[in-house]
């Protein structure tokens, strides 16, 4: 195993188009403090840039690099791997894919990056066809080929709809159906979400997908607003809580789904406490 090299931060560059977000949240604050106290315990993995001497592209360690910058550290340890961009892309995806907290959008772009890298490798080294790339990737990541393709479809969503998915407001299957709409149609869906304060059900998303090719451009917005304005059974008599009123009680990177789960867990505890209080009386 090679020895890590000490590299100046100014000579390190994020991997172009890497799919994982680097968030300034509570976990990042803890990482910054750890690095200030102990330094970087796990070296980064980088590769030399082909056209710029002594410059490197980060394969693994984007969060550690960001934390080091925030901690005011000028140099970091890194293992240098001389690999192609395709090999580096696969390493990057694999090193992060099984993190505890990974957003749907991160997984979508990660699968797309790895899939395209594997296809390019197949073209140049006799791995062969799209089918082989699908099969190889499915075996490596533990997902079915169809599920991988569903995730890759999500990269066709406009950024605001992807954000709603990451926040848990739009279900995965709904996002897949919406990904077949044009950008104009997706913007109309977003307008309807904001106008009616609702999100599409799976049934509505399927209808919009099915009707998409049949709609004339002039009818697109009107049709989408009509479908989205329909009342759904699961949206009747809802209690709505504004996110900004709840945010102080949860970590900054919590999604709506995580907040909802914690609220339900807290209410379960409150219910049990009430039963205990009644028994004591």
| pLDDT score recorded for residue 204 | 93
How large is the average pLDDT for residues 187-205? Answer: 92
pLDDT at 55: 94
The predicted-structure confidence for 38-70, as pLDDT tens digits, reads as follows: 999 999 999 999 888 889 999 999 999 999 999
pLDDT band at 238 (very low <50, low <70, confident <90, very high): low
Strands of 56-60's sheet in order across = 5-8, 75-80, 44-48, 56-60, 12-13
One-character DSSP codes across 153-167: HGGGS-HHHHHHHHT
Residue range 123-130: mean pLDDT, rounded: 45
Alpha-carbon distance of 159 to 142, in angstroms, equals 27
CB 32 within 8 A of CB 71: yes
Predicted confidence at residue 259, as pLDDT, reads 84
Residues above pLDDT 90, as percent of the chain: 51
The band of 201, judged by pLDDT with boundaries at 50, 70 and 90, is very high
Q: Determine contact, residues 52/16, Cβ cutoff 8 Å.
A: no
Contact 244, 210 (CB under 8 A): no
Distance between CA 223 and CA 216 in Å, rounded?
10
State percent of the chain over pLDDT 70. 87
Q: Check residue 276 and give its pLDDT.
A: 78
pLDDT at 234: 53
| Mean pLDDT to the nearest integer, 229-238 | 62
The pLDDT-based confidence of 6 (bands split at 50, 70, 90) is very high
Residues 249-268 have a mean pLDDT of: 82
Give 87-117 pLDDT, tens digit per residue. Answer: 999 999 988 877 777 899 999 999 999 988 8
| Residue range 151-182, pLDDT digits in tens | 999 999 999 999 999 999 999 999 999 999 99
Output the pLDDT for position 132: 57
pLDDT score, position 48: 94
Length, in residues, of the chain: 281
Instruction: Give the residue from 188, 174, 265, 173 showing the smallest Cα distance to 219.
Output: 188
The pLDDT assigned to 252 comes to 77
Q: Are 23 and 92 in contact (CB under 8 A)?
A: no
**Global pTM value:** 0.72
């Amino acid at each position: 195993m090679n020895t890590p090299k000490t590299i100046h931060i100014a000579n390190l560059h994020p991997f172009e188009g890497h799919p994982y977000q680097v968030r300034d949240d509570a976990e990042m604050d803890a990482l910054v403090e750890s690095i200030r106290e102990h330094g970087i315990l796990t070296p980064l993995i980088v590769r030399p840039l082909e056209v710029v001497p002594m410059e490197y592209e980060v394969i693994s360690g984007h969060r550690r690099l960001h934390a080091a910058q925030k901690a005011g550290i000028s140099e970091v340890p890194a293992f240098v791997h001389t690999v192609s961009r395709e090999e580096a892309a696969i390493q990057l995806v694999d090193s992060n894919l099984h993190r505890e907290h990974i957003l749907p959008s991160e997984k979508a772009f990660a699968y797309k990056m790895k899939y395209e890298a594997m296809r390019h490798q197949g073209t140049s080294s006799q791995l062969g066809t799209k089918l082989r790339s699908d099969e190889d990737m499915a075996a490596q990541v533990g997902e079915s080929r169809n599920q991988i393709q569903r995730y890759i479809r999500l990269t066709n969503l406009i950024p605001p709809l992807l954000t709603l998915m990451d926040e848990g407001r739009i279900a995965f299957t709904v996002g897949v159906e919406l990904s077949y709409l044009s950008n104009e149609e997706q913007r109309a869906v977003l307008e309807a979400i904001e106008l009616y304060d609702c999100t599409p059900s799976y049934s509505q998303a399927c209808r919009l997908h099915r009707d998409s090719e049949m709609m004339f451009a002039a009818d697109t917005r009107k049709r989408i607003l009509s479908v989205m304005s329909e009342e759904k059974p699961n949206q009747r008599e809802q209690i709505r809580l504004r996110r900004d009123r709840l945010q102080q009680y949860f970590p900054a990177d919590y999604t709506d789904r995580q907040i909802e789960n914690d609220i339900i867990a807290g209410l379960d505890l409150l219910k049990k406490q009430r039963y205990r209080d009644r028994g004591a009386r």
